[in-house]
Amino acid sequence: MWAGFLLDSGRATFRKIVRPAAEGRSLAGSTLWLTAARVTPMATGFLFWFLAALTLAPKDLGLGSAVVAAALLTVQAGMLGVGPATLTLLPSQDDAGRRRLMATSLATVGLSSLAVATALLLITLGLGPGVGQAWDDAAVTAGFLAAALFASTAYQLDHINVAQSRADLALVRSLLQGLTQLAVLLFCLASGYRTVMAVIGAVAAGAVGSVILGMHQLHRAGIGPRWKDGVRLSEATRLLGPALRNYPLMLADRAPGYLLPLIVAATLSASATAAWYVVWMMASAVFFVPQSAGYSLQAKLAAPGSELALAGRALKISLLLTLVSGGVLLGAGPIFLNVLGPQYAPHWILLPLLVPALILSCTTQIYYGICRAYARFAESTAVAVLAAVVAVIPGTAVAHAYGLPGISALWLFAQLSAAVIAATRLKYLARGPGG
C-alpha cells in the first residue's frame, strides 16, 4: 500500500515539475531553481571530468576542454542578447505572443550560434596552436558545431523557463543533460574510444537531450512555440531590437570566462589547460548562483507592478547562497583535485583567489539585472567592458609570467573593479528606477 502511495506521489510531483503551472514561482524560489539547474550539470560534470582526467591523456584532455570552452564561448556570443531580452519581453505577452516570441527567439539563436561557431572555427584554424589543431579531425569539427547549436538552444530554453518563473523545468533538463553526457562518455571509455571526440561528443549529446525534453515540456503544457507565426523576418527584426541592446552587456560579462581557457591553451601546456579547466569548472558552479539571482531579479522586475525593493532581497539571497557554496568549494575542492592526481593537486591554490571573485560578483550581477530590466545598458555595459579588458587584455602576458595563479589573480582584480562600481551605482539606483 505504501509503495503504491509513494509511486503515485512521485508521479504527481514529476507531472507538476514537467508541466508548467499558470502561476510562477517567487524570487527566492526562481533563484534557487535556476541555480540548481545551472549547478546540476556541473555536479555531474565533476564526475565527467574526473573520469576523463583519469582515462584520457593530458594532451587529449587539454585539447578537449579547449574545444568545449570554444563551444561555450559560441553559446554566449551566438545568443545576440536574445536570452536577456526574452526575460524582459515574455512576461508582458499574452499566450499567442509568448508562443510566437518563443519560436522567434529559438530560431534566431539557432542560426546565429551556427554562424558564430563557423566564424570561431575559421579564426582558430588560422591561428594554428591551441584549439585550432582540433579541427584536423572532421568528427571533432562536427561535434563542436552540434554542441554549439544545441547548447545555445538549451540555454535559450532556460531563459524561456525563467521568464515564465518556472526555472524548475530547467532543472529537469539540466539533470538529463548531465546524465546523458556522462553516459555517453562512459560508453566511449568502455569501448576503448579515448580521444578528444569522446569529450565533445558527450557534451553535444547532452545538449541534444536537453533540447528534446525542453520542447516536449512546452508542447505538453500547450504552450509550444508557434513556428508558423514566429519564424518570420519581421518577428526576428522586432526581437533583435531589444536583444542587440542586451548583447554588448551579455558578451562583455560572460565571454572572458570562456576566453581564458583559450588563452591558457595558446600560451601554456595542454596539461595546464586541463588543470585550469577543472578548477574553472568548479568555480563556475558557484558563479551560477549570483548569475541566477540577477536573471531572476530581472524577470521579476519586468513583470507589472514590480518594485526595485526586490533588489535588496535578491542581493541577500545571492550573498548567502554564494558564501555557502564558496565555502563548500574551498573545503571540498582541494580534496577533489588531490583525488585526480599529482598533476591537478597543486592547483588548489587557485581556489582562494577565485572564491572571493565569486562573492564580489553577487553585487555586480544584481546590478546587471536591474540595468537589463530598466534598459540602462550604456552604464552596465561600460562596467562589464572594464572588467573584461582587465581580465583578458593582459591575459597572455600574465600567463607567461605567472602561470595559472597569475590568471586567477587577474580575474579577482577584474571582479573587484566591477563590484566597486556596481555597489556605488546600486546605492544610487536604490532611490528609484528613475535614478
Per-residue confidence (pLDDT) for residue 230, from 0 to 100: 66
C-alpha pair distances (Å), 248 with each of 76, 78, 251, 270: 11, 12, 5, 31
Domain range list for the chain? 23-429
pLDDT in tens, 180-200: 999 999 999 888 888 889 999
Q: 32: pLDDT confidence band, cut at 50, 70 and 90?
A: low
Which one has a higher pLDDT value, 292 or 154? 154
Looking at residue 20, what is its pLDDT? 43
In angstroms, the CA 180 to CA 165 distance is: 26
Q: pLDDT-based confidence at 339, cuts 50/70/90?
A: confident
Confidence band for 33, pLDDT divided at 50, 70 and 90: low
Q: What is the 3-state secondary structure (H, E, C) of the chain?
A: CHHHHHHHHHHHHHHHHHCCCCCCCCHHHHHHHHHHHHHHHHHHHHHHHHHHHHHCCHHHHHHHHHHHHHHHHHHHHHCCCHHHHHHHHHHHCCHHHHHHHHHHHHHHHHHHHHHHHHHHHHHHHHHCCHHHHHHHCHHHHHHHHHHHHHHHHHHHHHHHHHHCCCHHHHHHHHHHHHHHHHHHHHHHHHCCCCCHHHHHHHHHHHHHHHHHHHHHHHHHCCCCCCHHHHCCHHHHHHHHHHHHHHHHHHHHHHHHHHHHHHHHHHHCCHHHHHHHHHHHHHHHHHHHHHHHHHHHHHHHHHCCCCCCCHHHHHHHHHHHHHHHHHHHHHHHHHHHHHHHCCCCHHHHHHHHHHHHHHHHHHHHHHHHHHHHHCCCHHHHHHHHHHHHHHHHCCHHHHHHHHHHHHHHHHHHHHHHHHHHHHHHHHHHHCCCCCC
Show the 3-state SS of 210-227. Answer: HHHHHHHHHHHCCCCCCH
Report, as an integer, the average pLDDT of 85-109: 86
Mean pLDDT, the chain, whole residue set: 83
pLDDT at residue 380 greater than cutoff 60: yes
238-260 burial: b if 16+ Cβ within 10 Å, else e = ebbebbebbbbbbbbbbbbbbbb
pLDDT score, position 30: 53
Please write the tens of the pLDDT for every residue from 114-158. Answer: 999 999 999 888 876 667 778 888 999 999 999 999 999 999 998
Dist CA 55 CA 276 (whole Å): 18
More confident residue, 367 or 21: 367
Nearest to 349 by CA among 292, 408, 401: 408
Q: pTM of the entire structure? A: 0.72
pLDDT for position 331:
93
Q: What pLDDT score does 382 carry?
A: 96
C-alpha cell at 120: 570561431
Assess contact for 424 and 366: CB atoms under 8 A: no
Residue 4 — pLDDT band, cuts 50, 70, 90? very low
* pLDDT > 90: percent of the chain: 36
Q: How far is it, in rounded angstroms, from Cα 302 to Cα 163?
A: 9
Question: Which of the two residues, 69 and 364, has the higher pLDDT score?
Answer: 364
